[in-house]
Amino acid sequence: MSAEDNKALIRRLIDEVYNQGNLDVVDELVAPDIFDHAAVSEHQHGIASFKHVMEWVRGMSSDIHYDIEDIIAEGDKVAVRMTASGTQTGALRGVRPNGKRFSVDYVHWFRVAEGKVAELWAVRDDPSRLQQLGLITAPGESYTDRDKGG
């Protein structure tokens, strides 16, 4: 596949799977033995684990949306810089939904093999997302400071 074909594949993955939550197309876009370096160890390998992670993300934020800011491809690799935004509509690591919004930067790298996503790496600003959701404090801030507005 050409670099343009690889970018089109990743755009489709982000649009149909990440944004729309359409898991029916995952088998078409993702290799059965995908390795997701960004997932927790028990969900790093295999298409079932990839689908589980996608369900978990949408369970935490049913309206999550990824906006592609930049996409670059060379050889079998595609790099994407995107903004993920949404609302905490479901539990997040045991914390009940609070309806707060978040918007954070993500960078994902994909390796494509035989027309499917074979590997995935990600750099996410999880601390910023957790701060925006009120689940952790900003550096140097205490919960008491935040509750007082200062």
Which domain CATH number covers 109? Answer: 3.10.450.50
Contact assessment for residue 85 and residue 67, using Cβ atoms and an 8 Å cutoff: yes
Domain of residue 83 covers 3-144
Cβ-proximal residues to 124 (8 Å cutoff; 6+ apart), any chain: 38, 84, 104, 105, 106, 107
User: 30-36 and 116-124 as β-strands: parallel, antiparallel, unpaired?
Assistant: parallel
Does some domain include residue 20?
A: yes
- Of 26-35, 82-91, 131-140, where does mean pLDDT reach its minimum? 131-140
Does some domain include residue 149?
A: no
* More reliable by pLDDT, 11 or 126: 11
| Stretch 53-58: mean pLDDT | 95
- The pLDDT-based confidence of 135 (bands split at 50, 70, 90) is confident
Residue whose C-alpha is closest to residue 9's, from 93, 102, 73: 73
* More reliable by pLDDT, 149 or 82: 82
Does some domain include residue 80?
A: yes
- The pLDDT-based confidence of 145 (bands split at 50, 70, 90) is low
How many domains, the chain?
Answer: 1
Does some domain include residue 150?
A: no
The string over 120-134, giving b where at least 16 C-beta atoms fall within 10 Å of a residue's C-beta and e elsewhere, is beeeebeeebbbbbe
What pLDDT, on a 0 to 100 scale, did the predictor assign at position 150? 45
Does some domain include residue 40?
A: yes
Does some domain include residue 41?
A: yes
